[in-house]
A and B are shown apart, each in its own frame.
Chain A
Amino acid sequence: MTKRYALGIFEDEDVLLHAVENVRAAGVKIHDVFSPYPVHGIDDALGIERSRLPIAAFFFGMTGLAFALWMQIYMLGFDWPMNIGGKPHIALPAFIPVAFELTVFFTCHGMALTFFTITGLYPRPKVPVMDVRATDDKFVMAIELDETSSQFSRLTQLLRDNGASEVNQKEMTTK
């Protein structure tokens, strides 16, 4: 689906933070903000809800832990028991390092895949980018436009009043 966005370009993160507060206070809904690096406090300023990713991470971790324990207990305890230093076949202290590593492995890969899937930021040949300068030194505030023609000029005025160095229009095809 193709949508039109007004893009306010900002030079400075502090100006951006104030602008976000003021634009929201003026009753305009901000689609998203794009920045070259994480801006402290931007989540609260945008009113973004807490991510539920940590909950997913917990379950990925539990999966990894269970898998690691099952794998070692099955392999060393039942499938191919070996005498290693006279230790019991199912020697839990020796399983802890592998269990730890696989917990971390499952958690980080699961989180990364979940994150890419949900946000649509996964790598692909043609990536939809609002403004490529957001990956360099500019901060971009995107506001979705509806069909009324006067809206863009009003937004341009609002963004310029709040320190935007330029205001552009862009059409984007989103999922």
Chain B
Amino acid sequence: MDIKNENFDFALVTDEPVSLTSAMGTGSDNDNTRGMSNWDDMLVRVGRDRDKDAFASLFEYFGPRIKSFLLRLGTDMSLCEEIAQEAMIMVWRRAETYNPSQSGASTWIFTIARNKRIDRLRRENRPLPDLADPAFAPEPVETGEKTIFRQQEEEKIRHALKNLPDEQAKMIFSAYYEEKSHREISDESGVPLGTVKSRIRLALNRLRAHLDEPEGIWKS
């Protein structure tokens, strides 16, 4: 039986700026964060050199964003602060396992914060996928090409997200920013469950289609 799927990596793939704020109606312009795959470099430095300055930079950028992300999910203020700090401690501890050809710093940090939050909120603890687990690290090979491909995918996701029809984008934002299950989105918006599900499917299909576009050219 084929049970290990090498393609599945929680720490997989990415970051890169480009403001989504207009799409989300949250205000400020993110242009000052452009050209920022240096988050990846910093995370590498933290892992490889145990570089505290690089860590401090990551902390100053991502700490407040993890907190804001958690606040949107309706998590209590002091708990958000705690989880954000714990997540960043985890970033330090796990940084050695970070591989930029597999994932961008922001995705990697997102998965860590996600797991931390689940750990804290769940009454019953269960080991969550370990980012350092070899089972979750598909190809150890690091190549510049792969890293570029990965960053490109990130751009495509941003682009696709901005171009989703409103009703589909709303499903995605409700899911990530309000942490609503598809059932709750339905209950609270009055949109029938079947419609919510089909919109989610349409949205994901669009995103997947963007990633499958051949214009990626980076495949050799």
Indicate whether A and B interact: no
Interface of A with B (CB < 8 Å)? none
Interface of B with A (CB < 8 Å)? none
